[in-house]
Structure 1
Amino acid sequence: MANDKNETETLKSVKEEYITEVIEKEFGKNAKVKKIEEVLTSGAGENYASDLHRIQVDVELEDKTETTVSYIYKAMPNSEFGGQMLKAMNIFPREIEIYTKIIPKFEELYKEAGKTVRFSPKCVFVAPGEEAFLMEDLKPKKFVNAKRQIGLNIDQVKRTLEKLAEYHAASVIVYERDGYAATYIEGIFKEEIMKPMLEMQKSLMNIYIDCLKQNENVQPYIHKMLKMLDYGFDKFLDAMKVNENEFNVLNHGDLWCNNIMFQYDDNDNITETYFVDYAAAKYGSPSQDLWYFLLSSCEKSIKIDKFEYFVKFYHDKLIENLKLLQYTKELPKLLDLQIQLLKNSLWAFSTVQGLLPIILVDPTELATMDNFMDTGDAGMKFKIMSFSNPRYLDALEELLPWLDNKGIMD
């Protein structure tokens, strides 16, 4: 769900009978599909792990009046290498289960507690035998993304953390009652998937370091980054393990600004916040979502300056919602959360080193899953563009000393 390219083409991504079934379910058996158009929704660099299409449908209702509705069709990306990796990660069955089974449980918990909470657009159809599904389109309800290169302002960050705290609190109650399938305990980054990814990353180390050397204020930290990259595999696998003696939640797993949508009123006040793209959902420490979100998606001016404030704001909201949902175990203390953040600080480094470059890069046709993973000419060009981006180097200039002062890069 990102900015439209405003290109319309004939239907080719989704079968017409799927659309007909959805329309009849929403408007009745006598509704007729008059016209279907497919609009590409994701510009270059806005979405890597799936293909997104807006499906616009002209419908004749039983009383002969007409209306237009739209849906988002999400499918496996048409990429050779990236598609294979995503299939191995089993991301579509996981995400479909989140939308159709787990999120409804969360929302029902709040309904029973007397609070109306919605987390996401609704999944309206799952394509049988395919890794694809249709979702409610949020554009008609005036939901939008923030610009990823700029990041979120204080109000947007607080609204996101408020929703995240609601999501995490509900996830704790559901885990205590029903548990989660093994796929959410293990996560998508299994050893057999991570090993080739990290080997590829090591092969790019010289290029990455050469790009970093362009900023003299980053140079003093290069030797520590090399050390982190060298032994990061084992530490990353350790970070994925669940410590049952600590407070755990179902993390969103990929919470950055393109997976957060805001609805505004006529005075530009945020009225609602939804999350999308739950493919990387992982049970474990909430520090995963906090590091990932706060370091990837806050505006540069507040990322460090307001970090501790944001952590406390999240914790306050988490406790508020755990009490509302009548959590019976000991409530997690702010100190416990701060300790978890330090213990799981590899999420901070991996976000800054692996995610931030592709978030801050300018739109480019080179920004594809295949180029993200490949070491061919186009892939290398995209990586150099990302690593040498002045916006990224400026971010490192502030983030690396801050991480180092916390002991995270030792």
Structure 2
Amino acid sequence: MPIQNGDGTKFVNSLGLKGLMELHLSQEVQIKSYTVEPASHGNGHMTRSELNRVYINFSTATTKQDVFKVIAKVKPLKGTLIEEFNNSDAFEKETLMYTKVIPILKEHLQKYGVKLNFAPQLIHAIKSPTEVLFLEDLSNEGFSTESPSMGLNLEQSKFALEKLAFFHAASACLIEKSPEMLAKFDKGTFHQDYQSKLHYFTEAFRYVVEHGKELGIDNATLVKLKQLPSVLTKKAIETYTDEK
């Protein structure tokens, strides 16, 4: 029996998992059992959806018993995020990102000898009775979610920045060579529509300024940093709009 954690787990069942595994393995599968547990702190606070890790105990004609882990990301079923998701087609865009864009980004990097896994593989997506993305579980490769109140330590920050750097580089290459692939993703972080949600940028700068000496930042740099928070978001939005 599954462990029930949230509304989204009711869309995870033996029949659906059987179909999922048969698509993934290209052979007939028998589901022995499965369990579901939260895959992130707050179960949706950061991922803006219900995120669960599913452990599937299964067998095939060639495998007596094995366990497969998958992440089930369920579209919000209640609360303030429902309207936002409906207006932005967020799940449709995310599915497109996993099925079309990310494979091309990885292909671009591989041409330069870079084999880096910066995003999970989309194993399967369903739209009814609600939208669910079944994603590769990358926890064994060092990926994890952390509580916003705790933040990241130095190693976690370096890990995240490395993945983001390669993702950004590959994205820039794709924009230059195949801009049509990114046509649906025309609103970046600093778009005017999102300005009410960018307060964390100024908060981050304030924190750096307040703890500047502890972080080893010299006084001259701190003076410049103190001037940034009040104009940072406004200037970023203006620059983004001008470049568009």
Match for residue 13 of structure 1 among 6, 11, 14? 11
- The corresponding residue for 1:109 is 108
Give the letter for the 1:24 counterpart: E
Deviation for aligned residue 1:149: 2.4
Give the letter for the 1:61 counterpart: T
- The corresponding residue for 2:99 is 100
| 1:54 to 1:162, Cα distance in 2 relative to 1, 3 A | closer
- The corresponding residue for 2:132 is 132
- The corresponding residue for 1:152 is 152
Q: TM-score, normalised by structure 1?
A: 0.45
Please report the RMSD computed on the Cα atoms of aligned residues, expressed in angstroms: 3.9
State whether residues 403 and 409 of structure 1, in contact with CA within 8 Å, keep that contact through their aligned partners in structure 2.
no
Give the letter for the 1:9 counterpart: Q
Structure 2 SS opposite 1:54: strand
In the aligned structure 1, how far is the partner of 2:187 from the partner of 2:155? Answer: 34
| 1:154 to 1:39, Cα distance in 2 relative to 1, 3 A | closer
In the aligned structure 2, how far is the partner of 1:155 from the partner of 1:138? Answer: 17
- The corresponding residue for 2:239 is none
Return 5+ residue gaps in structure 2 as ranges.
Answer: 233-244
Deviation for aligned residue 1:170: 0.7
Give the letter for the 1:150 counterpart: M
In the aligned structure 2, how far is the partner of 1:403 from the partner of 1:55? Answer: 44
- The corresponding residue for 1:183 is 184
Structure 1 SS opposite 2:151: coil
Residues 255-313 of structure 1, C-alpha deviation per residue, up to 9 Å, x if partnerless? x9xxxxxxxxxxxxxxxxxxxxxxxxxxxxxxxxxx59975999x857994789xxxxx
- The corresponding residue for 1:123 is 122
The reply to whether residue 79 of structure 1 matches residue 74 of structure 2 is no
1:173-322 alignment, distance < 5 Å:
173-179=173-179, 180-187=181-188, 198=196, 305=215
Residues 175-225 of structure 1, C-alpha deviation per residue, up to 9 Å, x if partnerless? 11110444312348876x65xx95xx9xxxxxxxxxxxxxxxxxxxxxxxx
Residues 347-387 of structure 1, C-alpha deviation per residue, up to 9 Å, x if partnerless? xxxxxxxxxxxxxxxxxxxxxxxxxxxxxxxxxxxxxxxxx
- The corresponding residue for 1:172 is 172
Structure 2 SS opposite 1:47: coil
Residues 87-117 of structure 1, C-alpha deviation per residue, up to 9 Å, x if partnerless? 2122111111112211111111121222211
Deviation for aligned residue 1:146: 4.1
| 1:107 to 1:15, Cα distance in 2 relative to 1, 3 A | same
In the aligned structure 1, how far is the partner of 2:183 from the partner of 2:140? Answer: 37
| 1:13 to 1:190, Cα distance in 2 relative to 1, 3 A | farther
Calculate percent identity across the aligned residue pairs: 22
State whether residues 175 and 182 of structure 2, in contact with CA within 8 Å, keep that contact through their aligned partners in structure 1.
no
- The corresponding residue for 2:27 is 29
| 1:185 to 1:144, Cα distance in 2 relative to 1, 3 A | closer
Give the letter for the 2:66 counterpart: T
In the aligned structure 2, how far is the partner of 1:27 from the partner of 1:297? Answer: 48
Residues 111-153 of structure 1, C-alpha deviation per residue, up to 9 Å, x if partnerless? 1222211111111001145432100123355643344323233
Q: TM-score, normalised by structure 2?
A: 0.71
- The corresponding residue for 2:60 is 61
1:303-342 alignment, distance < 5 Å:
305=215
Structure 1 SS opposite 2:149: coil
Structure of greater relative contact order (alpha carbons < 8 Å, 6+ residues apart): 1
Deviation for aligned residue 1:85: 1.8
The reply to whether residue 39 of structure 1 matches residue 37 of structure 2 is yes
Q: Which runs of 4+ in 1 moved over 6 A?
A: 188-191
| 1:108 to 1:70, Cα distance in 2 relative to 1, 3 A | same
Return 5+ residue gaps in structure 1 as ranges.
Answer: 1-6, 202-235, 237-255, 257-290, 309-398
Give the letter for the 2:32 counterpart: K
Structure 1 SS opposite 2:186: helix
In the aligned structure 1, how far is the partner of 2:154 from the partner of 2:34? Answer: 40
State whether residues 53 and 70 of structure 2, in contact with CA within 8 Å, keep that contact through their aligned partners in structure 1.
yes
- The corresponding residue for 1:88 is 87
The reply to whether residue 405 of structure 1 matches residue 219 of structure 2 is no
In the aligned structure 2, how far is the partner of 1:12 from the partner of 1:96? Answer: 21
Structure 2 SS opposite 1:24: helix
| 1:78 to 1:42, Cα distance in 2 relative to 1, 3 A | farther
Give the letter for the 2:74 counterpart: A
Deviation for aligned residue 1:28: 4.0
- The corresponding residue for 1:233 is none
In the aligned structure 2, how far is the partner of 1:170 from the partner of 1:295? Answer: 28
In the aligned structure 1, how far is the partner of 2:213 from the partner of 2:30? Answer: 51
